[in-house]
Structures are given as structure tokens and as C-alpha cells.
Amino acid sequence: MLILNSCADESFLNPSELSNVILPSNGATEYLEVSIRKAPIAPDGTTAKAKTDIVLTFVDIDPTVDGIGLKAGATVEVKLPSEFVNTGGGTNSIFLLQGWPQSPPALNPPPPPFIFPWTTTVDGNTITATLTGDYLVDMFGPGPKQAHLLLLGFENPKPGKYEIPIRIRPGPAPSKIMSGIGEVIIIPKSRPSIHAISLFSGGGPPPPFFNPIYQKVILGESAVRVGMYLWDKDNEPFLGVDLQMVNLSHGLLVQNGSTVGQVRIDAPPGANNYSLTTEGPSAEIPAFITGSPTGLLLVQFTTDSAVAGNYTLSFRLNNGNTQDLFVTVLPSI
């Protein structure tokens, strides 16, 4: 029988062994549903042989759902498979996010560099964030939900599926353990990508920035404009991309007369006077933190001033990913 508190590798137990685990008397283990995606600030975070730049999501990113409160002394630990090569060069960082990009709390006022309430350490292929202060639900927002691993000292393996475990100890030891395993897909070469970002979307700095993915507005108000990073299939900034609406709920993303993507709008019943516009074609800027050249597209959604409810905007690049935006319109008081 496996004894959790005497196991040499207790951090990363095989889920099939969990029924045989004896929990320590000072805590309990909770298991997390974990998903893994490419980070929004680089074109190739999950591409073979590129630098590792991924986001592990362990709580629903809907801001109405609480994250996991972390007290000073808490740890968030991620172990990369051995196929991920620690080159020993480059800066490695974890950013603990609240469900949207660029959303950790900063302990110092602007300008950057920002100071966050944790430190990052690397031991082989294990990356750990240790909290130096409290980062709790409702202190800065819904609380920690994601671990963004920006690992410039690691190289992605060959294409394939890889399991990555995460362990969260939400307080100093002894404390309960929360753990889960996510799967990342390493692709042979980069694909077109589009990502909503907090920069250029609402207020800030300092972090936490505005949430561009989930917005709430009062009836009659427009949603805040949203900035989108775009890269093409060659890791180059996707430039000159603009929007052409076909009808009220369907638009085309177009570059030089060719369709490179689609936009769909799902509106509440009765809504027939809403619109989606841009501030002109995507233009080149450096991406936040990485400095990677990217295309920036600024989009503005105007809701139907007479219809409350939920609006969903889906942006999809051909042969690439989809970025959904959610706007909830509340009845006026």
C-alpha cells in the first residue's frame, strides 16, 4: 500500500494509484481538472523545439467562479516530463493568473518591472512558485486559476502528447494538497493564432489588468474594446488583417482580399441592433514580456441598447485557434 507522506515522489502520483493512497492526518488531497494551452504572448509556445511557454488552467476561468486562495508559504509546483530539455540558459518564470492574461497582482506601483507575491525556483524539470505573501480570493479578483510557465531556459520536445502534473499546497506545510495532470499537445510547426490580451483592453497598469474575455456592462453601455494578438503560420506577425461583416452575426477576417478567419456572434433573443467594428487593420507591435513581433487588432463590440443577456463572440483563424469573448449585459437599475 502506498503511504502518501512517505513516498519519495508524492508530488506526482499516478491517478490510477489514488485509490490506494492513505492521506496524512493533517490534511486532505483534492484533485484538479487541468487543461494546458499555448500562452498568448508568443507564437510558438507549444511548437516542437521552441521555448516552452504554456498556461495550465486548474479552475474554470469564468470570473464568477472562485479560484484557489494561496497563503504566504504556499507552493505551486509543476513537473515537466524529461523530454522537455532544461538548457540551463534563459529566465524561467511562473505567473499565477486569475483566468485572463496579464492578471497577477503587482506589489509595486508602475512603471514596470512589477514585483509579484511569489518567487520562482527551478530544480531539474520541476518549477515551483513559493508565495511570499497572501494571494487570496477577492483580494485582487477571483483568485489564482492558472499557472503561466514562461520558460526561456527550456526547449519543447518532438511532436506528441505529454502529461504534465501540477501540485498546489495552498498554505504553508502542513497543508492539504491539490493536484492534477494536464495534457499538452506539442505540434510539429506553428499555426495561425489569435489571442485576447489585457493590454489595450480597459485599464492598467499595474496588474491585475482588465478582463477582456469576460465583460459585464449595463444595458445601454458598450463593451470595452479588446486588443488581440495575431500571428500567421510562419510565426510572423499577422498584419493587415481587418474585419468585414457579412451580416449582423457573421464576419470575415480578411487580409489583402483573402479570407483568413471567421467571426460569429451569438446574441440573446430579440437582439438585432448590435455591431462589431475595428480600429483599422492589424499593425505590428512587440508582444508583452516576450517582445516577439505580433499583429495587434483592436475590436469594439456595441451591444443592443434595448436587449440584456449574454453575447458570445467567437474569432477563429483558418487552420488556427478560436478565441471566444463573453459580454453579459445587465438590465439597467
Cα 79 from Cα 94, distance rounded (Å): 12
Cα 222 from Cα 304, distance rounded (Å): 9
How many C-beta neighbours within 10 Å does residue 89 have? Answer: 9
Are both 30 and 74 inside the same structural domain? yes
How far is CA 180 from each of CA 57, 145, 166, 255, 268, rounded to the nearest angstrom?
Answer: 10, 13, 6, 41, 36
Are both 209 and 125 inside the same structural domain? no
C-alpha cell of residue 141? 479578483
Task: Output the pLDDT for position 14.
Answer: 36
Are both 137 and 198 inside the same structural domain? no
Cα 234 from Cα 174, distance rounded (Å): 48
The pTM (predicted TM-score) of the whole model is: 0.89
Cα 274 from Cα 176, distance rounded (Å): 48
Task: Output the pLDDT for position 207.
Answer: 75
Cα 121 from Cα 129, distance rounded (Å): 7
DSSP output for 262-301: EEEEE--TT----EEEESSS-EEEEPTTT--EEEEEEEEE
Cα 229 from Cα 196, distance rounded (Å): 6
Helix (H, G, I), strand (E, B) or coil at 315: strand
Residue 50 and residue 150 in contact, taking contact as beta carbons nearer than 8 Å: no
Cα 104 from Cα 100, distance rounded (Å): 9
- pLDDT per residue, tens digit, the chain (333 aa), is 222 222 223 333 333 333 222 233 334 579 999 999 999 999 999 999 999 999 999 999 999 999 999 999 999 999 999 999 999 989 999 999 999 998 888 887 777 778 899 999 999 999 999 999 999 999 999 999 999 999 999 999 999 999 999 999 999 877 789 999 999 999 999 999 999 999 888 876 677 889 999 999 999 888 999 999 999 999 999 999 999 999 999 999 999 999 999 999 999 999 999 999 999 999 999 998 888 999 999 999 999 999 999 999 999 999 999 999 999 999 987
Given 186, 207, 227, which residue is the final one in a domain? 186
- Residue where the block lists cell 502529461: 163
CATH number for the domain that contains residue 26 = 2.60.40
User: Amino acid identity of 305?
Assistant: S
Strand partners, 146: 57, 97
Question: Cα–Cα–Cα angle for 100, 104, 93, nearest 5°?
Answer: 100
Question: Taking Cα atoms as reference points, which of 128, 161, 166 lies closest to residue 145?
Answer: 166
Given 186, 215, 233, which residue is the final one in a domain? 186
Residue 124 and residue 9 in contact, taking contact as beta carbons nearer than 8 Å: no
Are both 36 and 173 inside the same structural domain? yes
| Count of structural domains, the chain | 2
Task: Output the pLDDT for position 28.
Answer: 56
Are both 273 and 141 inside the same structural domain? no
Are both 197 and 326 inside the same structural domain? yes
Task: Output the pLDDT for position 15.
Answer: 35
- Residue where the block lists cell 495561425: 192
User: Amino acid identity of 147?
Assistant: A
Domain that holds residue 64: 2-186
Are both 157 and 197 inside the same structural domain? no
Q: Measured in whole angstroms, how far is the alpha carbon of residue 285 from the centre of its chain?
A: 20
Are both 225 and 151 inside the same structural domain? no
Are both 246 and 320 inside the same structural domain? yes
* Residues 173, 174, 176, 180, CA torsion sign: positive
Are both 123 and 214 inside the same structural domain? no
DSSP state of 4: G
Output the CA torsion 102→146→69→116 (10° steps): -40
Given 147, 169, 186, which residue is the final one in a domain? 186
How far is CA 218 from each of CA 201, 243, 312, 328, rounded to the nearest angstrom?
Answer: 18, 26, 16, 8
Are both 170 and 235 inside the same structural domain? no
What's the full length of the chain, in residues? 333
Task: Output the pLDDT for position 17.
Answer: 32
C-alpha cell of residue 237? 506577425
Are both 218 and 310 inside the same structural domain? yes
